[in-house]
Amino acid sequence: MIAHRATLDVSRALIHYVARLLHDERRRLGTPKGSRALTPFWQAVLVLRWFRG
């Protein structure tokens, strides 16, 4: 496993917005709570970091 910390130059409001979209999509699909490795917030951070790279 490789750990990496980076500064993400996007607003926290954007991260919360994307996290809400992910949360709503998980709810729509019926994904069981706790079945994902990342919370919607951290998944949003990962996705936004990937897009910025």
What pLDDT does 7 receive?
A: 77
Give the residue extent of every domain in the chain: 12-52
pTM score: 0.80
Residue 49 exposed, middle or buried by CB count within 10 Å (0-12, 13-18, 19+): middle
pLDDT score, position 53 = 76
Residue 3 has pLDDT above 70, yes or no: no
* CA 31 to each of CA 23, 24, 35, 42: distance values in angstroms, whole numbers, following the listed order: 10, 10, 7, 17
Q: pLDDT band for position 4 (50/70/90)? A: low
- pLDDT tens for residues 6-46? 778 889 999 999 999 999 999 999 999 889 999 999 999 99
